[in-house]
Structure 1
């Protein structure tokens, strides 16, 4: 799967060489280090923060990712398990709070992959 955008998105690897992680800490649940990123890739020297407010666009992506997770939780709770609407919406709220760090990182990974492509020459 290496060499695809999906690999970079799901692993948090550099979108250009996919050799190193963009994040200083792999664990997104270390909340005080959630947004800590390397300035550049140590392997191919790609600059991750293209401009000062580059990752503001990831907020729009996080909305779509959050809706996707909420839809999945609702479908599972209401459609498959058979919970009522109120219990299903409570489950959505709980799931979104628990998954917030993952949604944040996933959104950043998706956003940066809009602007960079994998380059075999930089591996």
Structure 2
């Protein structure tokens, strides 16, 4: 499921979409000084991560979808744990969870966006360290 060569591996572990070995971001998504800054190139296979200027603007749409998925997951977890929350409290819990997950959501959205346009190359992955 999370094996190298699958899109899910690259997305979850924020790795290069082509070789799955190089780091995708400059730093951890929660390091706010480099907030979700994508590297210019893969340090392993030298893939240029940006096809054109403002390439990752489209990831905002993906980010919206991932945010909705996180909000639904929080709601379902409240149901599973049997928490009887008022609607205003539930709303506040979801908003807090979304704020805390925002760096991760943005990073994953950029990774998903890159994986739409770049394909895994097994030959290149075997050649790089």
Per the shorter chain, which TM-score range?
over 0.9
SS class of match (2:36): coil
TM-score, normalisation: structure 1: 0.93
Q: Which residue of 1 aligns with 2:49?
A: 48
Q: Which residue of 2 aligns with 1:19?
A: 21
Q: How does 1:14-93 map to 2 (within 5 A)?
A: 14-25=16-27, 27-78=28-79, 80-93=82-95
* CA displacement at 1:77 relative to structure 2: 2.3
SS class of match (2:117): coil
Decide whether the 8 Å contact of 1:74 with 1:89 is kept in 2: no
RMSD of aligned residue pairs (Cα, Å): 1.2
Aligned length: 122
Tell me if 1:114 matches 2:106.
no
Q: Deviations over 1:49-74 (max 9, x none)?
A: 11111001100000000000011112
Q: Deviations over 1:9-68 (max 9, x none)?
A: 00110000011111111x211112123222111221111011111001100000000000
Distance 2:95 2:6 in 1: 32
Flag as ranges the 4+ runs of structure 1 deviating above 4 A.
none
Decide whether the 8 Å contact of 2:22 with 2:45 is kept in 1: no
Gaps of 5+ in 2: none
Q: Which residue of 2 aligns with 1:4?
A: 6
Tell me if 1:99 matches 2:101.
yes
Decide whether the 8 Å contact of 1:74 with 1:92 is kept in 2: yes
* CA displacement at 1:78 relative to structure 2: 4.7
